Amino acid sequence: VRRARIAAIGGLIIAAAMATSGCATRRASVATASLDRTHAVAQALDDGPARNVILMIGDGMGHTEITVARNYARGAAGRLRLDRLPLTGACTTYAVQETNPQLPDYVTDSAASATAWATGHKTSNGRLATAARTDAPLRSIVELAQARGLRTGSVTTAELTDATPAALAAHINHRSCQGPADMARCATFRKRIGGPGSIAEQTVDHHLDVLLGGGLGRFEETVDGGPYQGHTVIDSARAQGYRLLTNAAELEEAPPGEKVLGLFADGNLTLEWGGEPAKPFPGSGPQRCVEDLRPPNEPSLAAMTRKAIALLDGGPGFFLQVEGASIDKCDHVGDVCGQIGATVAFDDAVGVALDYAQARGDTLVVVTADHAHTSQIIPPPEGEDRHSPGAYSTVITADGAPMTVNYATNLPGHMQEHTGAQVRIAAYGPQAANVVGITDNTELFSIMSRARRIGK
Ligand SMILES: [Zn+2]
């Protein structure tokens, strides 16, 4: 069987001729109709203002995580949707040290990185939209957008109180303070002493129009101060005008014109794919991943993105953040199939945003990651005295070839670590050219707020 697949990228045509024999083996090659991208890049330049901004964060989606997912799901010469954004650069992600904010902390966590693009300021690991050492609140792009009358939304496959969405909708000294019962490290922020409360409470009190993700358990905890003392965070959300959504059908049916709080799992949403985790020598696999593990009552990231856009559309413009959170979470535990499935699901959501933006022409879409991560593509182990000291798994890719993915930033069996490399940033739409070259994650705040003219 011979198939030709053609993808148009502006004026650029990539034709991937794929020869398949049987169902498992494919050989891929890229036939280059034109390697001159000058016209395509010129076509992509747009210096006008944006009506809408969609920020898409692949949590822990470094260059390796993108390459692993591409090799596995599309083949080495294939392309993901996020590969088709016309303007691409690299983004530095370092945090600063809590005790001496003049010094960089080269390996960021999701909280400090999200604070950087949400507020334009570096902070130390663990903090959400507060300054290192001082706890001073840092104004977020959501607050600026709301002050200009824009609609705002936040979508994630993690708990809505997890670090990336939390940086938009809370100011707190530590990311662990997700619900009113989790305030051990954030004593001065408690509602009962007049503080703004936990991340769940602040998220509701920030009145974003669309909140979709997991973390129902945090929102069932009891508020310990203020007007809703003694009631759950969900009760306080309802009292403040939110419609609660708890499954995919309710999400589909939610009408426009109401604020929505979608909590589709007690904790994080279920992983899309699964398989054997990475193991020390001789590793796990060779394997193909098991797909379609998410139960149908939980919406996919693409479905949440589509609905969020539909609910936010039609007004004065909007800011929406969409996070594919499980890339990071699977990287931490060496779950190669979970990681690939989460990356592919994130890529599907990127496709939803790009389809919308391409149809409208007035929407800036930025796709990036908050930090790089553990996984590496390495040669297959060759024997007792020639293999990685870490854990690894070999998967059989869409090319029909083995690919060994390694996890070795910590001892096998322990949580793997983030890494400090720059990450990809790519964009489409008005002012997308500002991501080209090398930027810092704090500049992303300026790029987005300038594009929508919501700066200070
Ligand atoms: Zn992480």
Mean pLDDT of 341-348: 98
Per-residue pLDDT at 25 exceeds 80: no
Cα(326) to ligand 1 centroid in Å equals 9
- Between the alpha carbon of residue 388 and those of residues 22, 353, 379, 382, 392, the distances in Å are 33, 39, 9, 10, 8
Per the annotation, the verdict on 34 as an active-site residue is: no
pLDDT digits (tens, 9 = 90+) for 245-260: 999 999 999 999 999 9
pLDDT digits (tens, 9 = 90+) for 382-429: 999 999 999 999 999 999 999 999 999 999 889 999 999 999 999 999
**The tokens of 213 are what?**
């993700």
Instruction: Choose, from 110, 198, 236, 375, the residue flagged as catalytic.
Output: 110
Q: Is the pTM of this model over 0.85?
A: yes
Residue 205: count of CB within 10 angstroms of its CB: 18
CA of 316 to the centre of ligand 1 (A): 35
| Mean pLDDT, the chain, whole residue set | 92
Q: How confident is the model at residue 2 (pLDDT cuts 50, 70, 90)?
A: very low
Are residues 133 and 111 in contact, defined by beta-carbon separation less than 8 angstroms?
no
CA of 425 to the centre of ligand 1 (A): 18
Q: What is the DSSP string of 381-393?
A: P-BTTBS-SSEEE
Calculate the CA 399 to chain-centre distance: 27
Residues 147-194: tens digit of each pLDDT = 999 999 999 999 999 999 999 999 999 999 999 999 999 999 999 999
Q: Could you give the percent of the chain with pLDDT greater than 90?
A: 89
Distance (angstroms) between ligand 1 centre and the Cα of 371 equals 8
The answer on pLDDT for 338 being more than 60 is yes
Residue-wise pLDDT tens digits, 208-249: 999 999 999 999 999 999 999 999 999 999 999 999 999 999
Residue with tokens 């747009």: 46
Of the two residues 356 and 20, the one the predictor is more confident about is 356
